[in-house]
């Protein structure tokens, strides 16, 4: 039997997002509209709306719905921004951000996963304002900078300097920092040439893998 995905999404929004404090109506609408099941391998689609990460292959995961919504809410997007999505994965996070901003550049380290992300976005018709590139997320993507917002879906040991330099002023960066099971989700705000840094919550992400070269996704 094919699940009623619309009902599953409504349940996710009501039980996993609203009840945990996500309030931004644009974020809730994006999470209600975007089909998470289309960004998971067939064998894991039955788990699409459980509030937990799921495998997407290549040793990577799609983040839990609550964390994606919470990070998007922290960015306070109004619809006019250019956003850098670091750790594109299968494309779901980029799709959520693209529903909230004008333009998204999604950078993914693994070439085969970058191709899968592009295919998923094209198949679902959600990639119209998303550019997928393959490269080292810790180096950002200078060609699209400055970014009004940067969202990082992998844990760095320290905040990469390149992301700070590519952040617009004013701008907001959300990034998990730490290693293993000890990570902080940090919100860094640039304003007037200065930085404000606070811990938004604690979290657990796959590590941000660093490699030296960047190139367009094949």
Instruction: State yes or no: is 63 an active-site residue.
Output: yes
Residues in the chain: 218
Instruction: Give me the catalytic one of 63, 90, 106, 151.
Output: 63
Contacts of 199 (CB under 8 A, 6+ apart): 184, 185, 186
152 bridge partner residues: 86
- Tell me if 172 sits within 8 A of 186, measured CB to CB: no
Give, as one character, the DSSP assignment of residue 102: S
Q: From the CB of residue 115, how many other CB atoms can be counted at a distance below 10 Å?
A: 15
Nearest to 133 by CA among 166, 106, 163, 155: 106
Structure tokens at 125: 């018709």
Supply the residues annotated as catalytic.
63
């Amino acid at each position: 039997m094919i699940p009623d995905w619309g009902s599953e999404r409504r349940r996710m929004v009501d039980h996993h997002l609203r009840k945990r404090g996500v309030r931004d109506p644009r974020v809730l609408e994006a999470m209600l509209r975007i089909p998470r099941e289309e960004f998971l391998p067939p064998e894991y689609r039955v788990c699409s709306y459980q509030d937990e990460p799921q495998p997407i292959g290549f040793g990577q995961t799609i983040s839990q719905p609550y964390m994606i919504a919470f990070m998007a809410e922290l960015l306070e997007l109004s619809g006019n921004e250019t956003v850098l999505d670091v750790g594109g994965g299968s494309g779901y996070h980029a799709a959520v951000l693209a529903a909230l901003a004008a333009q998204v550049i999604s950078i993914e380290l693994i070439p085969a996963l970058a191709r899968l992300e592009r295919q998923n976005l094209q198949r679902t018709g959600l990639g119209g304002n998303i550019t997928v590139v393959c490269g080292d997320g810790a180096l950002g993507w200078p060609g699209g900078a400055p970014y009004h917002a940067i969202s990082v879906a992998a844990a760095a040991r320290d905040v990469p300097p390149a992301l700070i330099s590519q952040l617009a002023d004013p701008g907001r960066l959300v990034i998990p920092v730490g290693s293993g099971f000890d990570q902080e989700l940090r919100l860094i705000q640039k304003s007037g040439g200065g930085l404000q840094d606070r811990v938004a919550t604690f979290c657990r992400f796959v590590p941000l893998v660093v490699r030296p070269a960047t190139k367009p996704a094949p």
